């Protein structure tokens, strides 16, 4: 049993025999030609044939995997059109055969793309250029060389896979793709994700793995070749669990989150950045209940500018096409430290200078974020949420800052919307004055992680206290119920964005207590939807 690790292009588990991709050899020799016009005409005839093949592939891909993903073949056709000047010039000036001119043009184009260090997408197009060139060269030499037929479902192993090869394969016979080269940004990776086939790239599997049993683990980015019996049985169980999740996805995607009696609950996703949006959409979240904006700061070497933040918030708002996006303002301190903030070392940072306390004492940082959020609100439905609230005056000062920012934007003729304002309820103080706070805001979101920590006086980062940390403690549950009731007394909607939001043991209680929204990791949405739809 040997494990080889690479990069995962698409998560999932596959178990089956390993088959090496058979590719036609494209050998190009440099040959002198006398009639350059005839050679150029031969190139154009092959190019026309290749264009017809690409059109057929695009139509097949559109039927199999969708219009957007099929556009890869439009990119191929564009590269092919760009070949003309170079190919014709090489044939005329060097008086050489068209095959060699096409191969040289492709090599030069690939080298140019490889040099684009600031553009990973274009770097990943090198394989597309070679795919196009090989197609034209094959057509000049009689065509053929694309088919791979298998008698059983296989884990397909290759040095690399061109998009045309991926699309023309009988996908019902392919359990997973594993390539020794390639990129997670390549069109092949995109197509594999769309096909819902686990895929690994940059995985150094030797050719003698052909015919052996394999296990592809797209979660760890590895393939196990010739696994022992215990490992095989363990992965069979994992595969069954993944198949059950897929069954849930197929059954529940697109359906309402509503109880049998007709009570609707909003199921939202927690995200840390733009990279999580695909999970939001894959799992059919109704919106984003917690965008942890501090990740924009954690991933930066300096304070992110207004423009940088605006672009991130705008992208999320646009991508979610009108769905609600709740953005939590900067929440650093405690377990999230950032060097350039130069925060003093504290004896008890969980009770110290963090979250809204930083924003209200470093107003320029806060104002920059609020300006970015309000500007982005013009492109979607953004809600603004303030964390770590303990007092009425804190909320009032936050609202005053919002009013100041809106006045500035209006004066500058910069479009924005009047965003709903909410706060996180994550301290006992906020629970006890929830009636007063509800009069000031549009919504509450209960942060159960910190609420449990502060209610039980337990540092949740301290592993030695783990057995004392009880998120189901009666005091925590009573605080949640009190918050829901206080919010509803003042027509303020109430959600949960902490870990308890996805706790299946509490879902029914939360719904019965009147919760309006539950926000959780995207992968938890469909299982929770199932519970709610089965409730009376």
> Are 226 and 275 in the same domain?
no
Q: Residue 71: its pLDDT value, please?
A: 67
Alpha-carbon gap, residue 399 to 365, rounded angstroms: 16
DSSP bridge pairs for 148: none
> Are 362 and 227 in the same domain?
no
N- to C-terminal Cα separation, the chain: 50
Tokens (6 digits) for 448: 């159960």
Q: Residue 478: its pLDDT value, please?
A: 98
320 neighbors 380 (Cβ within 8 angstroms): yes
The angle subtended at Cα 483 by Cα 517 and Cα 460, nearest 5°, is 85
C-alpha count within 13 angstroms, C-beta hemisphere, residue 159: 3
C-alpha distances in Å from residue 465, one per residue of 452, 459, 470, 500: 13, 8, 10, 19
Sort strands 421-425 and 381-386 into parallel, antiparallel or unpaired.
parallel
> Are 11 and 29 in the same domain?
no
Q: Residue 411: its pLDDT value, please?
A: 97
> Are 416 and 506 in the same domain?
yes
> Are 443 and 461 in the same domain?
yes
**28: region left, alpha or beta (phi > 0 left; psi from -120 to 50 alpha):** beta
Q: Residue 209: its pLDDT value, please?
A: 94
Please state the domain count of the chain.
3
**Tokens 């996006």 -> residue:** 325
Phi/psi of residue 42, nearest 5 degrees: -65, -40
Answer whether residue 352 is part of any domain.
yes
C-alpha distances in Å from residue 214, one per residue of 10, 17, 141: 17, 6, 37
> Are 168 and 106 in the same domain?
no
> Are 165 and 128 in the same domain?
no
The answer, as to whether pTM is greater than 0.75, is no
Domain that holds residue 477: 261-533
C-alpha distances in Å from residue 181, one per residue of 46, 175, 198, 495: 28, 19, 16, 45
For the CA atoms of 480, 481, 483, 485, the dihedral, rounded to the nearest 10 degrees, stands at 170
> Are 454 and 464 in the same domain?
yes
Q: Residue 81: its pLDDT value, please?
A: 83
DSSP-based three-state secondary structure for 139: helix
Taking alpha carbons only, the member of 67, 85, 165, 163 closest to residue 124 is 163
Answer whether residue 277 is part of any domain.
yes
Answer whether residue 324 is part of any domain.
yes
**Tokens 């009425």 -> residue:** 392
Alpha-carbon gap, residue 56 to 164, rounded angstroms: 11
Alpha-carbon gap, residue 120 to 122, rounded angstroms: 6
CATH of the domain at 39: 1.10.274.10
Answer whether residue 244 is part of any domain.
no
CATH of the domain at 412: 3.20.20.60
Phi/psi of residue 509, nearest 5 degrees: -60, -45
Backbone Cα Rg of the chain: 28
**Tokens 């500007």 -> residue:** 375
Alpha-carbon gap, residue 218 to 197, rounded angstroms: 10
162 neighbors 127 (Cβ within 8 angstroms): yes
Alpha-carbon gap, residue 238 to 244, rounded angstroms: 10
Which of 205, 237, 269 is at the close of a domain?
237
| Cross-sheet strand order for the sheet of 7-10 | 2-5, 222-225, 213-217, 13-20, 154-158, 174-179, 199-201, 7-10
> Are 265 and 285 in the same domain?
yes
Active-site residue, from 76, 187, 201, 398: 187
Count of other CB atoms within 10 angstroms of residue 511: 18
Q: Residue 38: its pLDDT value, please?
A: 93
Alpha-carbon gap, residue 239 to 337, rounded angstroms: 38
> Are 371 and 519 in the same domain?
yes
> Are 360 and 401 in the same domain?
yes
Helices and strands of the chain, counted as H and E runs: 21, 16
Answer whether residue 466 is part of any domain.
yes
Active-site residue, from 359, 398, 419, 497: 497
Alpha-carbon gap, residue 496 to 447, rounded angstroms: 6
> Are 136 and 151 in the same domain?
no
Answer whether residue 255 is part of any domain.
no
CATH of the domain at 204: 3.50.30.10
Task: For residue 187, indicate whether it is catalytic.
Answer: yes
Which of 124, 140, 156 is at the close of a domain?
140
340 neighbors 301 (Cβ within 8 angstroms): yes
Alpha-carbon gap, residue 281 to 276, rounded angstroms: 9
Q: Residue 336: its pLDDT value, please?
A: 65
Answer whether residue 433 is part of any domain.
yes
Q: Tens digit of pLDDT per residue, the chain (536 long)?
A: 999 999 888 888 999 999 988 766 667 889 999 999 999 999 999 999 888 888 887 777 666 555 555 667 777 778 888 888 999 999 999 999 999 999 999 888 888 887 776 666 667 777 778 888 888 988 888 765 555 567 789 999 988 876 666 666 777 788 998 999 877 656 556 556 656 678 898 999 999 999 999 999 999 999 999 999 999 999 999 999 888 877 877 788 889 999 999 999 999 999 888 877 878 888 899 999 999 998 888 777 788 999 999 999 999 999 888 899 999 999 877 656 677 787 778 777 778 888 899 999 999 999 999 999 999 999 999 999 999 999 999 999 999 999 999 999 999 999 999 999 999 999 999 999 999 999 999 999 999 989 999 999 988 767 678 788 898 999 999 999 999 999 999 999 999 998 899 999 999 999 999 999 999 988 789 989 999 999 98
Tokens (6 digits) for 215: 């296990």
Tokens (6 digits) for 85: 């000047």
Answer whether residue 33 is part of any domain.
yes
DSSP bridge pairs for 394: none
Which of 89, 114, 140 is at the close of a domain?
140
Task: For residue 490, indicate whether it is catalytic.
Answer: no
**Tokens 């594999």 -> residue:** 192
């Amino acid at each position: 049993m040997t494990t080889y690790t690479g990069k995962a292009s698409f998560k999932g588990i596959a178990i089956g025999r390993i088959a090496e991709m058979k590719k036609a050899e494209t050998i190009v020799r440099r040959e002198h030609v006398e009639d350059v016009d005839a050679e150029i005409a031969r190139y154009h005839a092959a190019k026309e044939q290749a264009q017809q093949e690409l059109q057929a592939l695009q139509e097949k891909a559109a039927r199999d995997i969708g219009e957007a993903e099929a556009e890869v073949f439009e990119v191929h056709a564009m590269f092919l059109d760009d070949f003309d000047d170079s190919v014709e010039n090489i044939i005329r000036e060097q008086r050489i055969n068209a095959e060699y001119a096409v191969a040289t043009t492709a090599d030069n184009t690939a080298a140019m793309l490889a040099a684009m260090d600031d553009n990973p997408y274009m770097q990943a197009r090198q394989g597309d250029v070679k795919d196009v060139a090989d197609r034209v060269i094959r057509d000049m030499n009689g065509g053929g060389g694309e088919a791979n037929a298998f008698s059983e479902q296989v884990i397909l192993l290759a040095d690399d896979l061109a998009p045309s090869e991926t699309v023309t394969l009988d996908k019902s016979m392919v359990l997973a793709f594993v390539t020794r080269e390639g990129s997670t940004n390549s069109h092949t990776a995109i197509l594999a994700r769309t096909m819902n086939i686990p895929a690994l790239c940059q995985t150094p599997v030797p050719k003698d793995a052909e015919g052996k049993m394999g296990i592809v683990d797209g979660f760890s980015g590895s393939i196990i070749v010739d696994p022992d019996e215990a490992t095989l049985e363990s992965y069979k169980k994992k595969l069954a669990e993944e198949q059950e999740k897929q069954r849930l996805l197929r059954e529940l995607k697109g359906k309402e989150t509503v109880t049998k009696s007709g009570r609707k609950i909003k199921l939202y996703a927690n995200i840390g950045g733009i990279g999580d949006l695909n999970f939001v959409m894959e799992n059919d979240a109704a919106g984003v209940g917690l965008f942890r904006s501090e990740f924009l700061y954690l991933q930066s070497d300096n304070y992110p500018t207004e423009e940088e933040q605006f672009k991130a918030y705008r992208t999320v708002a646009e991508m979610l096409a009108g769905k609600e996006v709740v953005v939590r303002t900067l929440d650093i301190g405690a377990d999230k430290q950032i060097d350039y903030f130069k925060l003093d070392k504290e004896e008890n940072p969980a009770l110290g200078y963090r979250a809204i306390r930083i924003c209200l004492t470093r107003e320029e940082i806060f104002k920059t974020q609020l300006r970015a959020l309000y500007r982005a609100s013009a492109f979607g439905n953004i809600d603004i949420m303030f964390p770590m609230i303990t007092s009425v005056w804190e909320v009032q000062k936050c609202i005053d800052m919002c009013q100041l920012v809106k006045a500035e934007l209006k004066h500058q003729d910069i479009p924005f919307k009047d965003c709903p304002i909410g706060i996180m309820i994550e301290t006992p103080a906020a629970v006890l004055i929830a009636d007063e706070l509800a009069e000031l805001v549009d919504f509450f979101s209960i942060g159960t992680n910190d609420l449990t920590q502060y209610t039980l006086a337990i540092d949740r980062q301290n592993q030695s206290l783990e057995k004392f940390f009880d998120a189901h403690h009666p005091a925590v549950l009573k605080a949640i119920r009190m918050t829901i009731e206080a919010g509803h007394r003042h027509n303020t909607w109430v959600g949960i964005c902490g870990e308890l939001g996805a706790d299946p043991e509490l879902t029914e209680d939360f719904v019965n207590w009147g919760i309006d929204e539950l926000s959780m990791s995207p992968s938890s949405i469909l299982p929770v939807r199932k519970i709610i739809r089965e409730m009376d």
